[in-house]
């Protein structure tokens, strides 16, 4: 595992190592002494900076009595290379992977583009429940727990960071559940849109074909490491942190912002759809 700057894979590797070490009750200094290492080596591993061999990883995991699943996960991360990291969650719920939730919590700015549905972070619990219920990979008995977990992610919508939601007009016009659920969702967007740290801008149908037809994604920016692009589908998710892919998605967002309505105009569109549901 060569030395490298902070990356999604590196942070995932480091976070898993930290959790395994914490379970032993040992300090990093004590563990380094027992393994005959410099403490800096433990620090590099827990920060995902690399600079260690596969033998080093196996030695640490063996001493800390890591599970087979943990060992396989870390070795897969150790050998991971390339500009994208694919995750296929065992439960089939991409937006509940720990990697995404950890990055959302660390982000200082999240810019989301959504073409079909209201973005997850600003969905009401009822709207989110129905979306979860329609998923082809979530069993009926798991729907309440998954829907509740999805709704809980909205706790990050607090002052101190910035959130931008670029949403296509068709996402607002798509009926989800009863008229009451639909109306409450639109009303919720209006309430959220007046918060100073949240910007909701609608890309109107009149814009025609646009840069966002590539699909939904979000761009997360952080105070201490490079931006990350996240995209998902039915049962998988992708993380990108290479400069070229980040630049492409930043250009897409710039193009969308150029055709999107202003915040005030966007509120008028939402309000107009809402009035039509009276």
Nearest to 195 by CA among 169, 165, 215, 174: 165
Lateral strand order in the sheet of 237-240: 84-87, 237-240, 228-232, 217-221, 109-114, 162-168, 198-203
Model pLDDT, residue 11: 85
Burial of 43 (0-12, 13-18, 19+ CB in 10 A): middle
User: Is pTM, for the whole model, over 0.75?
Assistant: yes
- Cα(129)–Cα(132) distance, rounded to whole angstroms? 5
- Reported as a single tens digit per residue, the pLDDT across 30-86 is 898 988 898 888 888 888 777 788 888 889 889 899 898 888 888 888 877 667 888
pLDDT band of residue 2 (cuts 50, 70, 90) is low
- Cα(106)–Cα(225) distance, rounded to whole angstroms? 10
Residue 232 has pLDDT above 70, yes or no: yes
Structural domains in the chain, CATH included, are: 8-81 (1.10.260.40), 86-275 (3.30.870)
97 vs 227, residue with greater confidence: 227
Average pLDDT rounded to a whole number, residues 171-177? 95
Contact 203, 259 (CB under 8 A): yes
- Reported as a single tens digit per residue, the pLDDT across 5-25 is 578 888 888 888 999 999 999
- Reported as a single tens digit per residue, the pLDDT across 233-247 is 888 999 999 999 999
Task: Average the pLDDT over each of 5-14, 21-30, 177-186, 249-258 and give the range with the smallest value.
Answer: 5-14
Residue 124 has pLDDT above 90, yes or no: yes
Which ranges of the chain does DSSP label H, i.e. alpha helix? Answer: 8-24, 28-35, 39-46, 54-63, 68-78, 98-106, 125-133, 143-152, 169-173, 179-193, 243-259, 263-275
Average pLDDT rounded to a whole number, residues 125-131? 96
């Amino acid at each position: 595992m060569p030395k490298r700057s902070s990356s999604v894979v590196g942070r995932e590797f480091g976070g898993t190592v930290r959790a395994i070490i914490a379970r032993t009750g040992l300090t990093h200094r004590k563990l380094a002494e027992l393994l005959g290492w410099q403490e800096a080596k433990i620090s590099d591993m827990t920060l995902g900076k690399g600079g260690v061999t596969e033998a080093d990883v196996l030695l640490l995991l063996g001493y800390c009595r890591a599970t087979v699943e943990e060992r396989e996960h870390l070795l897969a991360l150790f050998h991971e290379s390339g500009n994208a990291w694919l995750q296929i969650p065992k439960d089939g719920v991409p937006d509940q992977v720990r990697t995404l939730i950890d990055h959302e919590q660390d982000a200082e700015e999240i810019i989301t583009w959504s073409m079909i549905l209201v973005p997850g972070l600003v969905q009401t619990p009822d709207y989110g429940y129905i979306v979860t219920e329609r998923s082809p990979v979530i069993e009926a008995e798991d729907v309440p727990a998954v829907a509740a977990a999805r709704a809980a992610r909205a706790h990050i919508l607090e002052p101190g960071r910035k959130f931008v939601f670029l949403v296509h007009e068709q996402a607002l016009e798509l009926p989800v559940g009863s008229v009451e659920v639909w109306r409450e969702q639109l009303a919720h967007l209006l309430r959220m849109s007046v918060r100073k740290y949240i910007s909701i801008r609608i890309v109107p149908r009149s814009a025609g074909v646009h840069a966002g037809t590539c699909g939904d994604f979000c761009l997360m920016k952080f105070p201490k490491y490079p931006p990350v692009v996240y995209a998902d589908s039915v049962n998988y998710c992708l993380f990108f942190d290479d400069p070229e892919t980040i630049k492409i998605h930043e250009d897409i967002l710039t193009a969308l912002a150029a055709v999107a309505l202003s915040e005030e105009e966007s509120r008028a569109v939402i309000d107009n759809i809402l009035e039509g549901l009276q």
